[in-house]
Structure 1
Amino acid sequence: MARPREEAQTRHPRHERRGEARLPGVVATLAAIMLYLGLPQRLLIAPRYVLPALEFLLLVPLVAINPKRLTRQTRAFRVLSLTLVAVIATSNVVALGILVHELVYAGVKDGRSLLVAALQVWLTNIIVFGLAYWELDRGGPVTRTQAPRTELPLADFRFSQDENDDSVQEVADGASGTSDWVPTLMDYLYVSVTNSTAFSPTDTMPLSTRAKVMMSVQSVSALVTSLLVIARAVSILH
C-alpha cells in the first residue's frame, strides 16, 4: 500500500537515519551465488565451490558490520563490498565468454542445458549490475541515507523522482526534493532489469561516465546472451 502524502514528507528513512535494510542485498548476493553454483561445469573457470566460497566469505563481515540496517561505513567496508561485486561480475562475464566460445567453436549439442545456462547468466547479469549501481551511486547505500544531501557525491543516475518536484501534488509529494527520497536496491535492480531487456536506459538516465560505461557493458552482455546464445540454443532444439 502506498504511503499517505503526509508520511511521504515526514517518514522517509533518510529523516530517521535508520539506513537501508541489509536483507535485500544479502538475498540478491546469495541468489547470484546460487545461480553460479547451478552452471554446467564446462562454464566454470575454477572448481565449483571456490568462487562461491570466496563470495560468501566476503559477505560475512559485511553482514557483521551492518547486520540489520546499513548505517556504518569504513574504508574496509567499502573495499569488501566493491570487491564482492567485482568477483561476482568477473565470474559471470567469464562464464558468458566460455558459453559463447562453446557455441561458436565447440559445437555444443545439448540445447536444453544451454538454454538454462544462458538464463542463469542473464539473471546473474541483472543482479550483479543492480548491485554495482547500488554500491556506487551517490557514495553507496550508507552514504545516501546517512550524509546530508549537500555532502553527497555527484549522482551517477537521475531517477524520475529527482525531477518530479514541479509535477502534480500527489506525484511531487514523493519527489526527492520534497520527501528527501533516495533510491534503494530495488530501484537499482529495476534499472538493471530494464537495461537488460531494452538494451538502453528507460526512465532512469546515466549521468557519469562510469555509469554509462557500466550500462553499455551490461547492454552488450544482455544482447549477446539474448540474441546469440538463446537463438543458437533454440536452433539446436529444432
Structure 2
Amino acid sequence: MSDEESTAEIEWPSIDDHHPLEEGGPTARAGLSYQDEIVVDIFLDMIEDATIQKVHCETHDDILIKRVRDGEEFVEYVQVKSNEPDTLWSVASLCAKGADSVCAKSLTRDQHKETARFRIVTLRDVNSELRLLTYPCYGPGRETTCAEFGSLSESIKGKLPDLTSEKGSDIEYWLALAGKLSFASLVERMRAVKKEFGSKSGSTLKKLIYNLFDEEVGNGSSVG
C-alpha cells in the first residue's frame, strides 16, 4: 500500500469538531482582560486624583501606581489575581507556597526609596478571616489596634514566620497598607466619567480611557 493510499484511508476530523491540544491562551487572555479592567479603573482615578503621577503596567508588578502627596513619594504595588480556584481567598491561599506566596511577593516589593503601599485585586471574594483587608486603610474596622488586625497578623506570621522586606518592613506594615479592590461597579463608573467628559476636548489620557471604555463595555455589556 502506497503512502498516498494509506493517507486517503484516514478519516481526519474537522477543525470545527476537534478539541484544541492546548487551551492556555483563552485562560491567559481572560486574566489579562481582567487586569485591563483594573488598569482602566486606575486611569479613572488618575483623572480625579492629582496625586497620581504615573501608572506602570507589567514592570515591578502587575500594576504600579506612583503618587506624590505633600512632597512625599509613594508607590503602590498592585497584584491582579484572576485565574484562582472557585473558592474564597483565605490566609492559607494568601500564604501558599511560602516565599513564592502572594503575600510574600507583595511585601518583598518594598525595596525602593519611595514609601511602599500594596494592593491585591482578586476575582474571588475573601473569607471572614481576611475581611479586614477589604476595608480602607486605617478606616473603621481596619485599625491596627483592633483585635481582628492582631489575629490576622498572628495567623499570617504562623504561615510566613520572619517575613520582612529588604527595608525591614514586616507583616504588620503590609497588613496596615494592603487593600483589596472590588471592581463590580467599574462599568457604571466608566459610564459616569464618559458622560461628564465626553463632550469636552480631552487629553490623550482621556481619549485612551474612552477607547478602553468602548472596548470593555463592548465585551458583554451595553451602554444605555
Report the TM-score range of the alignment, normalised by the length of the smaller protein.
under 0.3
Q: Which has the higher helix share?
A: 1
Q: Which has the higher strand share?
A: 2
Structure with greater Cα Rg: 2
